[in-house]
Structure 1
């Protein structure tokens, strides 16, 4: 993914009650294997894209969950689809789940993070860089 490229991306939850559009530059796209994402999604890993919060236009009711004081996860209030993740260390940014994108080819992950928490039966064979924890250097 080219840094600085402007995108117009749409997405929605499973039932369609929550919809969003993202317009602007995507900071990074990754696949997270941390235990927190596993528990919050019920999946072995979660794909995320990170954008400035001001670039997201969202409609529909969300339930908020605070698994830790500094972390906010939002889900569709109707069907429970995971939509976003926010951390108090980056209040101007939000992570949006890749699985909710209307066009699944709109972006491509550039790395795996928190592979130290990866479930043992999952093999990573896509050739993407792998980081034991969070990789703060995003390109």
Structure 2
């Protein structure tokens, strides 16, 4: 499967053998992403091919995170020693709906109110006229 950052500077191919993913709620992932959790896919590092080596952020004494320094996209996580594995963010894949959540990690930091938001009102981006007008004023079709 393929994926990459928002600006396209960093692309990857990953050999994926399962649709299983997990939500990480640990404070490091929350702070690194600016989100309440990160959807992640575990993979062997040898199964990832980068078209352009990502930038790496030393997020703690034991881990580092690949990202794009140009657009800021968070691409994953890996420990710095004693592992051949890493995690890639589900949203960085070109086809994120392929994956399904199977577990939670960092449960001590779960924000319970954000787990089931299915009852909240929904607005489609393409139905929000002000956003559509902004895209068209910029000379592009709405995304």
Q: Smaller-chain TM-score range?
A: 0.7 to 0.9
The equivalent position to 1:83 in structure 2, one of 37, 60, 75, is 75
CA contact (8 A) 2:19 2:100 kept: no
Structure (1 or 2) with the greater strand fraction: 1
State the TM-score, normalized to the length of structure 2.
0.73
CA separation of 1:42 and 1:24: change in aligned 2, threshold 3 A? closer
After superposition, what is the alpha-carbon deviation per residue over 1:3-49, rounded to whole angstroms, capped at 9, x for unaligned? xxxxxx11111101110111143495200111110100001110000
Q: Secondary structure of 1:44's match? A: coil
Q: Secondary structure of 2:91's match? A: helix
The answer to whether 1:71 aligns with 2:71 is no
Distance across 2 between alignment mates of 1:97 and 1:13: 10
State the TM-score, normalized to the length of structure 1.
0.75
CA shift for structure 1 position 65: 1.2
CA contact (8 A) 2:19 2:99 kept: no
Name the count of aligned residue pairs: 118
Any residues of structure 2 matched to 1:1-139 within 5 Å, and which? 9-26=1-18, 28-88=20-80, 90-119=82-111, 121-124=113-116
Show structure 2 runs of 5+ residues with no match: 119-143
Distance across 1 between alignment mates of 2:116 and 2:109: 13
Show structure 1 runs of 5+ residues with no match: 1-8, 127-139
Task: Give the 4+ runs in structure 1 shifted more than 4 A.
Answer: none
